[in-house]
Structure 1
Amino acid sequence: MIKHESTASLALAGLRVLEIGSGAALAYAGKLFSDFGAEVIKVEDWEGDALRSFPPLLANSDREQQSALNAWLNTNKRSVTLGSNHVEEHAWLSRLAKTCDVVLDARALREGIDVLRRPVYGTRDAANTQNVPIEVCLTWFGETGPYSHYVGAPAVCRALAGAVYGSGAVEGPPHLPHDIQTGIVAGLAAFSSAISALLGESDGSRRYVLSIHELAFSVVEMEVGMVQDGRHPKARLGVNRFCTTHPGGIYKAREGWIGIFAHTGPQWAALCAAIGYPEHADDPRFESGPTRIRHADEIDAFLTPALLTRTATEWFEELAKVKFPAVLVPTMDELLVQSVHRERGAFVPVQSGTNQFEGVVVPFPLGDAGPLPGGAAPLKGADNPFYRSEDALAPRVRRACATEMKPPLRKIRVIDLTMGWAGPLAARTLADFGAEVIKVEGAQYPDWWRGTHYTDAFYKERLYEKNSNFALMNRNKLGITLDLTRQEGRAVLLELVKTADLVIENYSTEVLPKLGLDYTALTKVNERLVMVSMPAFGAGNDWSGTRAYGGTLEQASGLPHHTGFAQNPPSLTSYAYGDPVGGWNGGAAALLSLFVQARTGKGRHINLSQVECMLPMVAPFIIEQSVCGQTIPRQGNAHPVFAPHGVYQCAGSDEWVVLSITSDTQWQALVNLIEARQLSADVTLNQVEGRRLRKQEIDAQINRWSRQRSADRAMGELQQAGIAAGVVNPVWRVLDDPHLNEREFFKTIPRAYLGKYRATTPWFRETSAATEMVRPAPTLGEHNLEVFDRILGMTKEQQQALENCGITGTEATRKADRQ
């Protein structure tokens, strides 16, 4: 096993975590614990987790084959297996669970939600109240609602959540991603829930129940805001067509592929000049992103041949000079040699038996607190003897059940210097768990998600208060305004920082140093401060100044080379994928840093790379490249293990259903349901290997059946037969989803200027009811008086002086008007 220089200094050293169940979500949550030093005990039945069969396979020994992907997901863990005697094994497992600080429980994904009525550690009765671990339970659809007893799968949850329909060719079928991508998001959520509970453990043990369906929705949450504001095209626009702007896709260069995003007018003008068509910058058809997407074919007619005149590297270097968001779109072999990632230690050795290959590091660089630079995966059952010993089962944890539902982070104060989606989502995670998050904007420089078209109407009609995306991403926060370009504004910010536990920011890397507000400056007033920075490629390297959006991060990760069908170019998803992924990772990194701060009393600066946060999404392909020296071409909607699996057309225009057969029993149920007698009689199809070889024939039979019924009816009949299936919902229909609405995942609330809108509720639950929202997103400067008075003790005269000179304010002002 690869050793860390000082394991005692790792962030989670001394914690014991029980990981029980199966699937990538559970495994990744456990990996986040184990790679930061926790003692993670992975419990499997003797057949093992289905992930063990994911390619590529390693021949470790005569004893077992091991999936390289599964090995990466299980570095630095311990492995125990369940025996056949159910009564004795349950008693043993209950004793083991009571020695743990955290239980990560995914049994419901395989056994159904009824299993959650029987906690691993036993009942929550009076006899057990002093030995109760923190518990995080993963479910497909939650414990309540019409879908709660549905058979789930990552692709099914994603389809129902609106995170499939928008990607792919106009004529379909939409694109399905690799299952692990949904698992990474759910794993981050489980980890964040557990760390929040550990930060608030003085209140006692907590139990969180998560819905992977609702977590899958988080990657398209932006589009729900656009639907409500009337800005969504309500259509699938095609491969590499981004709904809010154009060009925003991937283009062939003379060598390699270049990813570009032109959102603003100056960016479009810079691109036109670079490709030799400066006259198009002033063409009224192309004046904004929404107008350019309507003329995308015309733009591509001159853009595509122009980009073929240089290599991708030449375009990247040329466009970087004018701060245009452009990146290389690397293949896996190219990604693995990029120095920007090598220098940060993004790729780490993974050992499985006698095999060693490269995987992806956990992307939270906490220095001496971790993560471990790689590690070894245990053989199945390798730690059975120890964890069945009396020494291992001796009681360790003396934690009572929480009796009051107080927010676990209620004693934490966060200064939020973020804009857009990724940074505000990271800060919102802390706010949802109860932290006091103070969002700082400038009246002259408001969050750009309030709007970027600075027309007269923007100011006179307060359009900056009427953007649903901003409202969705900034709930539960206080909002103040400070002009940080002026000394008086910076002085007030420093006074706030003195009182804070954490600062989170996602400015371009040069902004805070120019303002004299970098981490060094902030620690002069608060030496225990934690700061999380979220640039695209991290700070301190040759690409640190690269401008990026969520789609840019996806392009730079290389993921598009493994999305979609082989006949198309490398393909983006239809949403700004890198933003929610960056936000999830930023929130988790912030929580973990606060946990270390609470243990040590020391602060630290987390230099996050948002592209690096995308690399776990690409892990199957990075690992395949490392193990095999190459990757297989894009496989469309085929699954690496399960068959049949895909998107099938239903009756009606652009209606689709996803199904995923994960067992031979489900296969028999399917052929009976669709009355495919010739398939049922063929014994070679009773195992998945045979079904993969006959994919086209089987898919044709499923399509014949599905085209005769609506997507809703197809889902209902398949679920009734015990088959994981779900409608491919467009995001605008997700707002009317009966399951989400019965669970009150969406709530209609009022907000000043915006009126009533559909807000999301936090994605974790301590009871069957939705977690309440404390407050809607702030209007500009809404909490100036409260924050300056309560926290800084300013007099009304001092506050009025700041407003009079334009340092603060409650209305957006043009830069030229600020004096």
Structure 2
Amino acid sequence: MAERAQPSSEALSQLQVVEIGSSAATSYCARLFADFGAEVWKVEPPAGDPLRSSAPLTPGGQSAWFAFLNFNKSSIVIDPADPEAVKRLTLLIEDCDILIDGRDIDGANCPLVDVAAMRQRQPGLIYLEASWFGREGPYAEFTASDSIVRALAGLIKLVGPVEGPPLHAPDFQTGVLAGLWGFIAAASSVFARMQSRAGRSYSLSIFEACISLSEYQLFEAFQRGEVMCRIGINRFWPNFPAGIYETKKGWLGVTTITPSQWRAFCEMLDLPELRDDPALVLGADRLQHMEQIERLFIPRLRRRTAQQWFAEGLKLKIPIVPVPEISDLLQDKEKIDRGAIVPIVLGKERALTAGSMQRLTLTPPRRGGKVPCPGGRQGFTSSRPNSTTGVSRLPDCSGPAEQPLLGTRVIDFSMGWAGPLCTRTLADLGADVIKIEAIQYPDWWRGVDRRPDYVNRQMHEKTLRFCMMNRNKRGITLDLTRPEGLSLAKRLIAGADIVVDNYSVDVLPKLGLGYGVLRVLNPHLVVISMSAFGTNSDRRGCRAYGSTLEQGSGLPSVVGTVNGPPVMSHVAFGDAMGGLNGCAAVLVALIHARETGQGQLIDLGQVECMMPLAAPWIIIQSLCGTSTRYGNRHPQFVPHGCFRCAGEDSWIAVAATDAGMWQRLASVIGRSDWAADPSLKLVDRRRSIEDTIEGAIEAWTRKRDADQVMAELQGVRVAAGVVRLPIDLLQDRHLRSRGFFQEIERSFIGAHLQPSIPIREGARPHSIRRAAPTLGEHNSEILADLLGLGEVEIAELASKGIIGTRMLSEVELRQGRRSRETST
């Protein structure tokens, strides 16, 4: 047996990573490795990474975006004109564990190297390459930017005023989102290599990574047959109210989904006429009366401050939260203490920014660091592996295709979106995920309706959102409030590698499954608590959804126009970001556990996972005491925005990311005089006439179909993308050509589509091996095969309601409670 490596306070300190090319996604991916101690070498040309000039800039002229993406890395300058350039780069790569390649986004004058040949010579090398749209497909050669990709992925059209234009969030989202996916691919490959010694090669589509956010709305719209449209700032179908509202002092984020939350909200505001109206019980019903409802409750909210309403909401279990400004985050002691806000050094400047949100408690991430100057090296001491450690580079032996986590078992105590996305990703990568529900309290994404008709027609088995988020898993029902169910759960945990929990922080401890108990059951266990605010947060008792997390993150304060309200950019952004950060954290802890035998607790605060999306503004605020909103404009690119096309609510996103692109754009729209004017090559000169430029663009676009505009502009290498609805993605020609949506069969709904993950080991997407489980579908299989129970024991559990395959109605729940109270 291989000797165990010595425990390290940095989980990935034995890894060496090389980053080539220039891409926000690959830079963020590499920085996540640096956060946990890996030695990361960033290869730059003599002029430096092009992202070093990305706005917004600090008073000292440093890029805030580059700083966030690159602290704790070392830089090495390789001049492609140097005769030894290829040799130097080849030697650097051949000595590393992971090569992260952003050249398809921007080559950054990187010397040409034959990666395929290097992988043959070094079969343990893990390789990740990123591109906007993937190597194949109709969009493969498109020119793009962050906003263009988000427009095409259905992430812009539903935001903003009803009349338009759709409203962009700041241009820093795809790098964080796709960077997380890249890290998940590479980290899972590190884990697989500890067993098979073989490296893996992944490609990452940034466009497909963005669909992690829009897939929920896509399938909701598809199943309900309703036309999802833009219904106003801080309004999103299918729930209402779920937005941001002004109070006596400050802004308040509100989300009401369940009937009980709506009733409590109305009671808090002393509005019995709304509470008792049977036509307003469900969120979808309230959407039909938005103006009428807001006229009644908005004046009431202005009577008290956001903090006062928050305190009241805690008592009533209403998902409401104060909406902070960036300045509030910088003064938030809890976020500083938790490492959500960290110090960084940029040349002679010292700033604050968002830290690493993967909150491992035994091997925590670094808290801040130094941004390298070109050619600058960090002062860390590398801990390179020897021939007996788990991550050593040994000759290749084949591992299971597509399943780097094969042989890993996950016990899944999660519901809704965030936790199930974490575990779905683990399952997609080969882990055996056992989802634990109860017939008394199944996953609420099956539906919150407990009326007899809903239950008897088994409508809880027909929700596409649940099926989408729980594929590739096995399902069991256990009543954890009863000793028999709790005992079986403990036996499953004793044989597992990972436990995932996204309940409120006190739920599992009250059931007898707190971390202290789990650690005794299984010392090697990785346990992640994915609560909204963190296990020790002052806000730990706050009920929260993905919308609550966005509202409380600071991001809305940098979205929208200068004099407008803070703006939500998604119906439930926080869920997907929490899920992907949770998966990334689990993989780091899993690598450490496999190498050292030590399990640990991960204390993930999902609200913190949203903060990297505002990271550049946090840096600027910390240095300047202020930050700027740009609306649909951009601090660096002119023009940049959404422009109306022919047809109803039809829009195109356009971005001129350099002077050459501006000239080609001007020529296409018939302004050859602008194209020939040398002064307009300068961004500042174009910004002085930005209104005029935008008017000319829209005069040209509004006479044309949006897809025609995209084709014409992309034909001359101008970044442009149609502003799609999420449901439009089902017919997207690029996604169809790449087989992104896969058809599978499932009981109760038959054939249905599933989205793929955005990382691939070959030309085709990872296969979907099984449909989402029906309620309790694998009870007998798991209890018999894993725990050794016989048929009689399993039947007795079913007769007692410990397990089952049918959801209980509200009436049956009450009857069951009375029966147990009587028997005791």
Per the TM superposition, whether the score is higher than 0.5 is yes
Q: Percent identity?
A: 41
Deviation at 1:541, TM superposition (A): 2.5
1:424 match: 420
Letter in 2 for 1:47: A
User: Which whole-Å CA distance do the structure 2 matches of 1:620 and 1:401 have between them?
Assistant: 43
Match of 2:276 among 282, 300, 306: 282
Pick closer, same or farther for the CA change 1:7–1:490 going to 2, 3 Å. closer
Letter of the aligned partner of 1:162 in structure 2? Answer: G
Shift, 1:473, TM fit: 0.5
* Matched-pair contact (CA < 8 Å) for 1:643–1:695: yes
Name the counterpart of 1:475: 471
- Pair 1:161-2:156 in alignment: no
Partner SS, residue 365 of structure 1: coil
CA distance in 2, matches of 1:87, 1:229: 60
**Residue 368 of structure 1: CA displacement?**
4.2
Higher deviation after alignment, 221-230 or 773-782 = 221-230
- Report the Cα offset of residue 445 of structure 1: 0.5
Q: Deviations over 1:327-349 (max 9, x none)?
A: 00011111222233233232111
Give the Cα–Cα distance (whole angstroms) in 2 for the partners of residues 805 and 129 of structure 1: 60
The Cα of 1:809 is off from its aligned counterpart by 0.7
Tell me the secondary structure at the aligned position of residue 381 of structure 1: coil
Q: Which amino acid aligns with 1:672?
A: S
Question: TM-score, normalised on structure 2?
Answer: 0.94
**Alpha-carbon distance between aligned partners in 2 of 1:30 and 1:304, rounded to the nearest angstrom:** 45
Paired with 2:83 and 2:154, the residues of 1 have a C-alpha distance of 42
Is residue 365 from structure 1 mapped to residue 363 from structure 2 by the alignment? no
Matched letter for residue 431 of structure 1: A
1:529 is the counterpart of 2:525: yes
RMSD: 2.2
Which of these residues, 168, 179, 191, is aligned with residue 171 of structure 2? 179
| Deviation by residue 1:114-169 (Cα, 9 ceiling, x = unmatched) | x99x76545268xx333551001111111111111212221111111111111111
Contact between 2:653 and 2:721, CA under 8 Å: does it hold in 1? yes
Tell me which residue corresponds to 1:344.
Answer: 338
Q: 1:377 to 1:574 in 2, by over 3 A?
A: closer
1:90 and 2:86 correspond: yes
The aligned runs of 1:704-783 (5 Å cut-off) are 704-783=699-778
Query: In the alignment, is the contact (CA less than 8 A) between 2:154 and 2:729 conserved in 1?
Result: yes
Once the 2 structures are TM-superposed, how far is the Cα of residue 59 of structure 1 from its aligned partner? 6.3
1:322–1:119 distance in 2 versus 1, CA, 3 Å: farther
Query: Equivalent residues in 2 for 1:216-615 (5 A)?
Result: 216-230=210-224, 232-383=226-377, 397-400=393-396, 402=398, 405=401, 407-615=403-611
Name the CA distance, whole Å, in 1 between partners of 2:210 and 2:407: 30
Q: Give the partner amino acid of 2:25.
A: A
Which of 810, 814, 819 is equivalent to 1:816? Answer: 814
Q: What do the CA deviations read for 1:58-88 (whole angstroms, capped 9, x no partner)?
A: 466xxxx421331222111000122132763
Corresponding position of 1:212? 206
- SS of 1:13's equivalent in the other structure is coil
* TM-score, reference length from structure 1: 0.94
AA in 2 matched with 1:196: S
The corresponding residue for 1:46 is 46
Q: Which runs of 5+ in 1 are unaligned?
A: 1-5, 387-394
Q: Where does residue 656 of structure 1 map in the other structure? A: 651
What are the Cα deviations for residues 338-383 of structure 1, in whole angstroms up to 9, with x where unaligned?
2332332321110122211111110112134121111001111225
* Other structure's SS at 2:185 match: helix
CA shift for structure 1 position 54: 2.8
Asked whether the 8 Å contact 1:53–1:641 carries over to 2, the reply is no
For 1:391, the equivalent position in structure 2 comes to none
1:660 Cα deviation after fit: 1.6
1:552 counterpart letter in structure 2: T
User: 1:643 and 2:634 equivalent?
Assistant: no
Match for 1:779: what amino acid? T
Q: Is the 1:12–1:33 contact (alpha carbons within 8 Å) kept by the matching residues of 2?
A: yes
* Equivalent position amino acid for 1:169 in 2: P
**Helix, strand or coil: the match of 1:357?**
strand
Q: What SS does the corresponding residue of 2:249 show, helix, strand or coil?
A: coil
- Determine helix, strand or coil for the equivalent of 2:731: coil
Map 1:21-32; keep pairs closer than 5 Å: 21-32=21-32
What residue number does 1:3 align with?
Answer: none
Q: Deviations over 1:544-596 (max 9, x none)?
A: 01100110000001211111223532111242111111111111111111111
CA contact under 8 A between 2:219 and 2:465: conserved in structure 1? yes
Match of 1:389 in 2: none
Looking at structure 1, the residues matched to 788 and 808 of structure 2 have their Cα atoms a distance apart, in angstroms, of 27
For residue 338 of structure 2, give the secondary structure of its aligned residue in structure 1.
coil
Is the partner of 1:541 in helix, strand or coil?
coil
Q: What is the alpha-carbon distance in structure 2 between the residues aligned to residue 170 and residue 402 of structure 1?
A: 55
C-alpha contact 2:402 2:766 (8 A) present in aligned 1: no
The whole-number CA distance in structure 2 between the counterparts of 1:310 and 1:658 is: 40
Q: Is the alpha carbon distance of 1:415 and 1:422 closer, same or farther for their aligned partners in structure 2, counting shifts above 3 Å? A: same
Q: Which residue of 2 aligns with 1:392?
A: none
User: Unpaired runs of 5+ in structure 2?
Assistant: 1-5, 381-390, 820-824
Mean CA deviation greater in 67-76 or 196-205: 67-76
Maintained 8 Å contact 1:26/1:106: yes
Matches of 2:784 and 2:412, distance apart in 1:
19
1:27–1:283 CA distance, 2 compared to 1 (3 A):
same
CA contact (8 A) 1:93 1:120 kept: no
Distance across 1 between alignment mates of 2:279 and 2:205: 44
Whether the 8 Å contact between 1:20 and 1:107 is mirrored in structure 2 is yes
- Cα offset, 1:297, TM superposition: 0.6
Larger mean Cα displacement after TM superposition, 747-756 or 580-589: 747-756
